[in-house]
Structure 1
Amino acid sequence: MREFTSPPTASAPPVGGLADVVFDHAETGPDRVALARKGADGVWRDVTSARFRDEVLALAKGLLADGVRFGDRVAIMCRTRYEWTLFDYALWTVGAQVVPVYPTSSAEQVAWMLHDAQVSAAMVEHEDHAMTIGSVVDRLPGLRRLWQLDGDAVTHLVKAGADITDETVHRHRRAVTPDTTATLIYTSGTTGRPKGCVISHANLMFETDTAISRWEPVFHSRPGDQASTLLFLPLAHVFGRMVQVAAVRGRVKLGHQPQLNAAALLPDLAAFRPTFVLAVPYIFEKVFHAARRKAERDGRSGPFDKAVEVAVRYAEAMEARAFGTGPGPAAGLRMQHQLYDKLVYSRVRAALGGRVRHAMSGGSGMNRRLGLFFAGAGITIYEGYGLTESTAAATANPPERTRYGTVGLPLPGTTVRIADDGEVWLHGEHVFRGYLNAPQATRNAVREGWLATGDIGRLDEDGYLTITGRKKEILVTSGGKSVSPGPLEERVRDHPLVAQCVVVGNDRPYIAALVTLDAEAVSHWLAMRGKPELTPAELVRDPDLETEVRRAVIAANTLVSQAESIRTFRILGHQFTEERGLLTPSLKLKRKAIEESYATELAALYRG
């Protein structure tokens, strides 16, 4: 199939902007809980629709009093926390354009984005962020204001706006139209300088209203409860931003968690108890591997592995029934599944707070088997696909017919086309307006309304999309063989000891790989085998560890022909990190930088 369209279920409102819903919800349901905020004492406290409206209105007044005007661009450099959402809606209320900045961005990255966007003001979280901007402020002549959250910026702004009337704020809000620019989100810059994606209020309203109309029933743990989600994705990323807007528009109780690591996240999931989560595959991988390690420590790795097999088989049988190719789980399988639900699956669900029965995954590909396991364990994960340029999701698996291992069907109102060279093209009201100050890049990306994604994929007979690689990442060996590195890397990463994998081989005689290790998993692996802790230099030379990684490589090679297989690999002592310039803020690999950084190791792989 070369093209597939899903009929629309929503459209962008003909008037107004994103902030209107805050005031509408406060009018129609003032006492309904809109958000929850974690206090310094660790207790989550509800925020009603009326209170959130009052806070947005008061902050909007302060922004006007401090010189923010309609159309101004204001940067936010902060982790995911309540105040980001508050600032977003206050800025949208006065018609300003928000420029999100990753809190880990370097001074050079900050200088480029704030200069390119001609930012007039910035909100930062703490002194380190303020110093980052301060170090390049001489290159930002348009920057007039800098607010620091941990310096009590919200209180000061609210006081400053005390004399501004409500009507002044509403006059600004009423001037916002769907075509008004809401935000400039910069791409991750894997292959060059980040580009600012111009995203309108209409883009975000269509994207989120479509998601709500199609998936709202699965936001709940059970019929009739209030839907709630804990947002731990970076709000500087389009996926996190989409979740925030969808939660506010869809009356989903929204909480924030600023630390995307298991040690901080899992306790908050247990306390907040969301009914639905949206995450990247990394989170689900962490939950699975943590459960597997605990079972091994308890001497129950055998039963756990059996439970995994039962979950996968059960989910496969349910999938076959949904597509009319099978009768569903047999009686014996249902009995086994019921047994393991009490022994294993309930504990996996408890790790996500205990109430989650549905989740959505995006940002990168999820292994089919992992999706099947979670489905069999009682948590259906709807994998989707999208880009910053498509305002997040463009495809997603539907609740009633999930095809694991694919990124689903086009969102309602979206068309997916496969070009002659295999590139995925998208069309819909969520496609962005273009790149800021980059007309040629815009013309290359948007062709007569179609977004050329740069991704390679295929549509099956039912319209489900599978992403197979990136055009710019296709490797061509010196023998002329074209290889997509993504599937190989993902299969190697399936091994619990592997953190990252980079497949190389462009203009080289064969394919090779650089592999990094998961420190927590390796420590557990050493302890379970009675081995002492090893230094990074000792780890990369450990023959038993090399054997484990080799098993992962062999498993990956079953996906491809011999000419496309990984012939050799090197285990590295340290992970690729953003601080070393090897990952983007959204954790994507910077392949060119990695190859340059490890030129010596790569040369050794091809020596002789």
Structure 2
Amino acid sequence: MASAERQILPVNSMFAEPAIDAVRRDDGAIILRSRTPLAAAARCSGEWLEHWARSVPDRTFLAERRGDGWTGLTYGETRAQVRAAAAWMLAQGLGPDRPLAILSDNSIAHAVLALAAQHVGVPVSAISPAYSLMSTDHEKLRAMIRLLDPGAIFVAQRAPFAPALSAIESLHRATIIAGDGDGTSAVPLQSLIATTPGPEVDRAFAAVTPDTVAKLLFTSGSTGQPKAVINTQRMMTTSQQAKAQLWTFLREVEGGPVIVDWLPWSHTFGANHNFNLVLSQGGSLYIDGGKPAPGLFDTSLANLRSKVPTIYFNVPRGFDMLIAALKTDDDLRQQFFSGVRCIFYAAAALPQNL
């Protein structure tokens, strides 16, 4: 026999009041179910972009560090570039069976192309740059490309990815897009965002359903070749709808949440959780070119001195390095805690000392 009990946990002003049913089974398992129904979610991620581009077109959505300052795109500018790139993809025959593969790390260009693909029903697969830049045999990258059969492959800069592109050249029929493309060996990114979108983009966007495949995210490959995990539009939008209902403080952040984030979009934490959180809430994402590694975390600290996030995401190693910096830098500590309302970690257990 299983017994049922109802629990009301203490109210927290930043979060929804938990209201759950707990069913204790004879085998010791406890099944928890929320009594709060999930409200209707967006049809697709493109609806978020369309909404914010209409309501706050001049608000910064994406920004990245260039030199001593930040350069970015507003919601209105992002929508314009997304529609243009989407028109190019449709003209090139990309679709459900011919996805977009992105080999480069987080960037504004990466975001625009990924959103463009999702906008018109083209699955996008962001592949960790390590498979291209650190591998010597590119075996796992080759396996991924064989599986995807992409219609287009994007790299931010052609030269660093030249060995990887050479290794997969015979395995695909994709068009190579390069952020620095010269128009001969690769299509320049600029030509995509210069495309004039027509009614075909509107038709394709209207045809996207919650069951449309939005992404193919690869597993780590620790038990063999990486496997492509299907992410539908519904999986992304309902997850963010649940987050919005639980993290009620998100609605109270004027101008939407601000994050300064390095977590890679080839993984669900950085992409489906962090990126989509900002997009769904109309916030601003400052792309951090650093990471919690020797010689790179100084970049993250410089970015935190420049922009104060309202939510800070990281992995345990990142918090270990951040705490060391906060203990010795009074200005950074005061600035950081002046704006941060929520700190969130994932990817591994957080040691008790942190």
Normalising by structure 1, we get a TM-score of 0.48
Q: 5 Å matches for 1:64-463?
A: 64-105=90-131, 106=135, 107-126=138-157, 127-138=159-170, 140=171, 142-151=172-181, 153-159=188-194, 161-162=195-196, 164-165=197-198, 167-217=199-249, 224=254, 226-242=256-272, 243-260=274-291, 261-291=296-326, 294=328, 347-350=332-335, 352=336, 354-370=338-354
SS at 1:143's partner residue?
A: coil
- Paired residue for 1:42? 68
Q: How has the CA–CA distance of structure 1 residues 182 and 199 changed in structure 2, closer, same or farther, with 3 Å as cutoff?
A: same
Contact 1:26 1:50 in 2 (8 A): yes
Looking at structure 2, the residues matched to 108 and 219 of structure 1 have their Cα atoms a distance apart, in angstroms, of: 45
Give the aligned residue type for 1:118: D
Q: Which amino acid aligns with 2:193?
A: V
Q: Find the residue that maps to 1:37 and give its secondary structure.
A: strand
Equivalence for 2:25: none
SS in 2 for 1:21: helix
AA aligned to 2:315 is: V
In structure 1, runs of 5+ residues without a counterpart are 296-343, 371-608
Shift of 1:12: 5.8
Decide whether the 8 Å contact of 1:60 with 1:93 is kept in 2. Answer: yes
How many residue pairs get matched?
310
Larger RCO (CA under 8 A, 6+ residues apart): 2
Distance apart, 1:67 and its partner CA: 3.4
Look up the equivalent residue of 2:81 and give its one-letter code: E
Query: Judging changes above 3 Å, is the alpha-carbon distance between structure 1 residues 61 and 218 closer, same or farther for their aligned structure 2 residues?
Result: closer
What letter matches 1:187 in structure 2?
Answer: T
Structure 2 contact 44–233 (Cα < 8 Å) conserved: yes
CA drift of 1:96 comes to 0.4
SS at match of 1:185: strand
String of CA shifts for 1:384-423, please: whole Å, max 9, x gaps: xxxxxxxxxxxxxxxxxxxxxxxxxxxxxxxxxxxxxxxx
Higher deviation after alignment, 276-285 or 255-264? 255-264
- What is the DSSP-based 3-state SS (H/G/I as helix, E as strand, rest coil) of the residue aligned with 2:176? strand
Larger radius of gyration: 1
Contact 2:96–2:213, Cα closer than 8 Å, also in 1: no
| Superposed displacement of residue 354, structure 1 | 4.6
Asked if structure 1 preserves the Cα contact closer than 8 Å seen for 2:82 and 2:113, the reply is yes
2:5 — aligned with what? none
CA deviations on 1:142-190 (whole Å, 9 max, x unpaired) are: 432111123373212233x23x41x110111111100011111111122
Q: For residues 225 and 96 of structure 1, do their structure 2 counterparts lie closer, same or farther at Cα, with a shift above 3 Å needed? A: closer
**Letter of the aligned partner of 1:233 in structure 2?**
L
Contact 1:270/1:353 (<8 A) preserved? no
Rounded Cα–Cα distance in structure 2 between residues aligned with 1:143 and 1:10: 42
Query: 1:181–1:369: structure 2 CA closer, same or farther, 3 Å change rule?
Result: same
Matched residue SS, 1:198: strand
For 1:37 and 1:76, how far apart are their aligned partners in 2? 19
Out of 236-245 and 3-12, give the one that drifted further: 3-12
- Aligned residue for 1:4? 32
Shift of 1:50: 1.6
Inter-partner Cα distance in structure 2 for 1:109 and 1:80: 20
Q: Does 1:62 align with 2:61?
A: no
Structure 2: distance between partners of 1:39 and 1:4: 43
1:81 and 1:181 mapped to 2: Cα distance?
Answer: 22
Say if 1:73 and 1:235 are closer, same or farther in 2 by CA, change over 3 A: same
Letter in 2 for 1:25: W
Q: TM-score, normalised by structure 2?
A: 0.80
